[in-house]
Amino acid sequence: MDLAKHWRQKATRYRLEGQRHRVTGAVRFPAQPGMPGEDPDVWEPFVFSGQGEIYSFTVLRQAATGFAQIGPYPVALVKLVEGPLVSAQLTDCAEADLAIGLPVEMVTRRLKDMGADGVLVYGYKFRPILR
Amino acid sequence: MHNVFIIGTGTTPVAEHYMRTLTDLALEAFGAALQEVAPTVTPSDIGALYVANALGESLAGQSQLGALLATATGLVGIEAIRVEAAGASGGVALRQAAMAIMAGVHDLVAVIGVEKVTDKLDPEVEAGLALAIDSDFEAEQGFTMTAQWALLMRRYMHEYGYAADAFAPFPVNAHTNAVSNPGAMYRFAINADKYRKAGQVASPLNMLDCSSLADGAAVLLLASERRVREWGVPAIRIAASALATDTLALHARRDLLWFAAVQQSATTALGQANLTHTDIDVLELTDPHGIAAALALEASGFVERGTAPRHAADGGITPTGATPLATGGGYKARGDTGGASGVYQVVELVRQLRGTAGAAQVKDAQVAFAQCLGGVGATAVTHILVNAER
Amino acid sequence: MKQPDRPVGLVGYGVYVPRYRIAGKEIARIWTDGQGGVPVDAKSVPGPDEDTITMSIEAARNALARAALPATALSAVWVGSESHPYSVKPSGTVVAEALGTTPWISAADWQFACKAGSEAMTASMGLVGSGMADYAMAIGADTAQGRPGDALEYTASAGAAALLIGPAEESVAVIEATLSYVTDTPDFFRRADRPYPVHGHRFTGEPAYFHHIRSAATCLLDQMGRTPADYTYAIFHQPNAKFPQSVAKQLGFSDAQIAPGLLSPQIGNTYSAIALAGLCATLDVAQPGDTIFMTTYGSSAGSDAYSFVVTPALLERRHRAPLMSAYLSRQEFVDYAVYVKWRNELVLG
């Protein structure tokens, strides 16, 4: 059923929450566990703005499991303005709209439907900027 | 450390072997390898089995393949393990086997690469392959391994100014070579025009630039120098073995178009063998797509960064080129056998070093370079093989 | 009429409309051979990755942006819909989590057909007006279920509107008063576990929509000592293009007064969101001192009436989030086949 597996990710998936280093200001997404010997409190939660640009993209015609329902769909590596790269689907766009460098923004959408007796999984996708 | 030699090889054809089980396939290849060294060498001489397999649990419904195949090969009780590193399983199992001999623990071991995927339908196969990418942050976002190669290809085209059909020489070369490999899955030639017209799979990757996963088994028999001398069998020496890893998630890489694990394992291997790139006569790389071969050639140091497609267009990867690649068809035309691919690679290189590769023979091949990758370069394992006289 | 002890108002507001549309004529092509009129030009269609939860999240984020408040300032996130993705598991929990308001928050779902959002709004007025909380988010959102071939298929659409209620002195529009008028009138309903609602055709008109809106509106106007002419703008529930224009006329409101908030001709009836979205569209153009009258309607049946006065704060906050016009102008038309595929109306085995 994968209940806890998705539940653990809600801050990350719903709000694009990563981490910032309290001392250096470096940011990373997603959050990582602490390394051996590292001060456990040195990384604090950091919510990314959701703004970014397309670093690369592709339109998948042979879907991953659980994604076959939506037909061909675009996925991308998005470079967030704060620096990190994120792997995410693109939405609200046609293939012809897509280009490396296109500015995009994060939206929260339904990622997966785990079936009639399963949960709905929500998470981040990116779309061309609305305004 | 002891020297390690390959003294026997065996394969099944790569195909949709609906009639054969995983065990059937493994036994066929195992028997073929033993046949090469019979009657001098017998199964009871074998000290350990190393099974290379990536998808046993997800697609064949079977784990603990070491014990399973130990019994199936009539070697009940023998030391046997299964090695998994996604697509690098074959090379990694070979390394584990070689290290046993280098360490003097065993003097004859078998590497059995085997993959049985056709009992499952496409969606389950995609799901099995997706186990090798980052689960929470790539697979759950709808990514597949093919999507990742496509992302790299598009970025590569953008940064170095290539069109998609610049990669056509890779599958064209692979298919041409497969015509003279009786065990290849696809034994027909293709051309650049067909490549240009092929339908998209994950843009910009098209149908002729994507390998197909199928069933097969490939076996290597590895022996110590003492045994080689004792038996007097022809042998190929493993001159180097090196493994490196990189981040699993593509988005976590420092430089997406540079496979650091490939660079590390290739450099270490060449150093171990005391050789340079120009000493290499023939190569096997993980090449399910042209972009994969390009990135591996570059990070391994055979060509300058950003130049691999031009190098291929100039004939550099054909049997008469500077870096002959996919002489048995590669992943694209020989077929992609998941965890077994790394063993098929070495069997093909042994065929080249023995001079029995027919129309795809590289003239006077003496030194070979085998590299296989797990995922999109998350694991890279490189072996260098030399004819034993050197 | 009801007025809280502590004056309240709209501190922020936000909308969301999906980018996809299907033309009324396209639906008519399938079901009536293209003959006859259509009740709206087009309706909004949710994309395959959208639902009441996702739309509520974007509308609420827009409302928070306008209010320029941290999410943790909210004491309630209440979502009104008749198309909650779960029957049991509140849309509110996902929305509250996505906004960053958890865990010290009240989150629940409301249902009263098309007035579920205004129910949440009235309750929010009580929560804030009683002093129990400073800020509460009331959301109306729907991906309305249109029975294939039915008259309502032309109008059952998708959208969300979020209203952030807080102290009147911090608001862009003060809520002067409200009242609710409810009877058990079965004009339109959906039994549990049934995929599509049923409606009573002409019974949904006079005994239902018109009676309840007129009753609530007339009573509030009387109790406030006001007439329609006293208001700059008015918004009524919009099951189609004609009904809100008719009830406005019956009550004495003009076409000009209802124009900025009349969205159904372009996007259909977004059910729990439509009246609130009309309010938001009106706020997008209103000026300080303008007065706004709104009466919602939910089937089976009831109406909530409200009176608002716009404050100067609106001018500064309006442009902190996309206007309704930005959502309206983004349109991608789909045909009936794509519409049916996305609305999960194909039997996939």
Chains A and B touch (3+ CB pairs under 8 A): yes
Sheet containing strand A43-47, edge to edge, reads A27-28, A17-21, A43-47
pLDDT band at A71 (very low <50, low <70, confident <90, very high): confident
Q: Of B126, B200, B250, which is closest to A87 when you measure between CB atoms?
A: B250
Structure tokens, B123: 């969606």
More confident of the two residues C349 and B386: B386
CA distance B157 to chain A (A): 10
Contact between B142 and A75 using a beta-carbon 8 Å cutoff: yes
Active site residues of C: 82, 114, 237
C140-177 pLDDT, tens digit per residue, is 999 999 899 999 999 999 999 999 999 999 999 999 99
In a mutational test of the B interface, the residue from A12, A19, A60, A122 whose CB has the highest number of chain B CBs within 10 Å is A60
Average pLDDT over residues A30-42: 92
Three-state SS for B125?
A: helix
What is residue A68's predicted lDDT score, i.e. its pLDDT?
A: 72
Please state, as a whole number, how many other Cβ atoms lie within 10 Å of the Cβ of residue B215: 29
Helix C91-99 and helix C52-67: axis angle, to 10°?
40
What is residue A115's predicted lDDT score, i.e. its pLDDT?
A: 87
pLDDT band at C100 (very low <50, low <70, confident <90, very high): very high
- Chain C residue set in contact with A, beta carbons under 8 Å: 19, 47-51, 53-54, 57-58, 85-86, 94, 97-98, 100, 322, 326-327, 330, 332, 341, 348
CA distance A108 to chain C (A): 6
Min mean pLDDT across A94-103, C328-337, C340-349 is at C340-349
Average pLDDT over residues B26-52: 97
Average pLDDT over residues C255-280: 98
Average pLDDT over residues C309-320: 98
A98-121 pLDDT, tens digit per residue, is 999 999 999 999 999 998 899 999
In the predicted structure, residue B148 carries a pLDDT above the cut 80: yes
In the predicted structure, residue A8 carries a pLDDT above the cut 70: yes
In the DSSP assignment, the letter for residue B325 is B
What is residue A87's predicted lDDT score, i.e. its pLDDT?
A: 98
Which chain A residues are Cβ-neighbours of C345 within 8 angstroms?
A: none
Contact between A14 and C58 using a beta-carbon 8 Å cutoff: no
B331-354 pLDDT, tens digit per residue, is 999 999 999 999 999 999 999 999
B88-121 pLDDT, tens digit per residue, is 999 999 999 999 999 999 999 999 999 999 999 8
In the predicted structure, residue B389 carries a pLDDT above the cut 70: no
> In terms of CA atoms, which chain B residue is nearest residue A54?
B155
DSSP for A12-42? HHHH-EEEEETTT--EESS--PPPTTS-TTS
Which chain A residues are Cβ-neighbours of C348 within 8 angstroms?
A: 69
Q: Of A11, A15, A125, which is closest to C49 when you measure between CB atoms?
A: A125
Q: Are C203 and C225 in contact (CB under 8 A)?
A: no
Q: Are B104 and B2 in contact (CB under 8 A)?
A: yes
Q: Chains touching chain B at 3 or more Cβ pairs under 8 angstroms?
A: A
Q: A36: exposed, middle or buried (C-beta count within 10 Å: 0-12, 13-18, 19+)?
A: exposed
Q: Does B145 touch chain A (CB under 8 A)?
A: no
> In terms of CA atoms, which chain A residue is nearest residue C98?
A14
Average pLDDT over residues B176-180: 96
Average pLDDT over residues B138-162: 97
B271-290 pLDDT, tens digit per residue, is 999 999 999 999 999 999 99
Q: Of A69, A111, A130, which is closest to C322 when you measure between CB atoms?
A: A130
pLDDT band at C36 (very low <50, low <70, confident <90, very high): confident
Q: Which of B39, B46, B34 is nearest to B78 (CA)?
A: B46
Contact between A110 and C54 using a beta-carbon 8 Å cutoff: yes
In the predicted structure, residue A1 carries a pLDDT above the cut 90: no
DSSP for C151-195? GGGGTB-EEEEEEEEEEGGG-SEEEEEEEEEE----SEE--TT-S
Maximum distance among all Cα pairs of chain B, rounded to whole angstroms: 57
Average pLDDT over residues C73-100: 97
What is residue C349's predicted lDDT score, i.e. its pLDDT?
A: 63
pLDDT band at A62 (very low <50, low <70, confident <90, very high): confident
Contact between B151 and A58 using a beta-carbon 8 Å cutoff: yes
